[in-house]
Amino acid sequence: PGKKVLIVYAHQEPKSFNGSLLKIAVEELTKQGCRVTVSDLYAMQFEPRATRNDIVGHLHNSEEFNYATETWEAYKRGGLSKDLVEEQKKVQEADLLIFQFPLFWFSMPAILKGWMDRVLVQGFAYDLSKSYDGGLLQDKLSLFSFTTGGTKEKYATRGDVRYLLWPMQHGIMHFCGVKVLEPHVCYAPKHVSEEKRKEMLTAWTQRLKTIWKEEPINCSPEWYFK
């Protein structure tokens, strides 16, 4: 109880299956006494492009623009754009980050990738000398909850779905020091019966009831590629 959760949600339609998963998470976690904040990226019309608009005031090097350097310098002097500062504050306060989205082309939707690109800047989320287990966002948990178009069997014949999680879970979250909980995958909700969809929603509700008792995965290559 009293924990803070940030759900970064990337789906255009509230009536979608992703919308139902979001609704369940908000209701269940709120019921537990958690403070839940939602960044509904499409509703916010979140800007996914990393541009010089992300820097307020002077540039560190106006001759040649380097996004990573400029955002790092801007972060240090408090010169990042308002939308980034707001998202970073939400991340900073959260004990658990849940990313809720449909899998697009074996990855996250562009708007969510843009959130990662723009919000998790150097100085805030990582430092090159402080990454992975020593990352700047330690003591936080993350969970990737997503839906797929293909069935579990389809994914099994083309290589484990875990391979796809390496760039997201390991390359982003673990790199920033965030611990990673087992992903929550709802396979092909569009192609299953209403009964099966209800079961999927119930399973998500049940999982959230004991989410704070879960142990993070072992963030090593073995987990992904064994």
Q: How far apart are CA 195 and CA 17, in angstroms?
A: 13
The whole-number pLDDT of residue 160 equals 81
Residue 108 CB-half CA count within 13 A: 24
pTM: 0.96
Contact 142, 178 (CB under 8 A): yes
Which one is the CATH code of 4-225: 3.40.50.360, 2.40.128.50, 3.40.309.10, 2.160.20.70? Answer: 3.40.50.360
Strands 179-180 and 96-102 come out as unpaired
Rg (the chain; Cα; Å): 18
Phi first, then psi: give them for residue 138, nearest 5 degrees.
-65, 165
pLDDT tens, per residue, the chain with 226 residues: 689 999 999 999 999 999 999 999 999 999 999 999 999 999 999 999 999 999 999 999 999 999 999 999 999 999 999 999 999 999 999 999 999 999 999 999 999 999 999 999 999 999 989 989 999 999 999 999 999 998 888 888 877 889 999 999 999 999 999 999 999 999 999 999 999 999 999 999 999 999 999 999 998 899 998 7
| Residue 156, pLDDT score | 80
Alpha carbon separation from 216 to 5, 47, 167, 219 (Å, rounded): 16, 31, 17, 8
Contact between 20 and 199 (Cβ < 8 Å): no
Q: Residue 145: what pLDDT?
A: 98
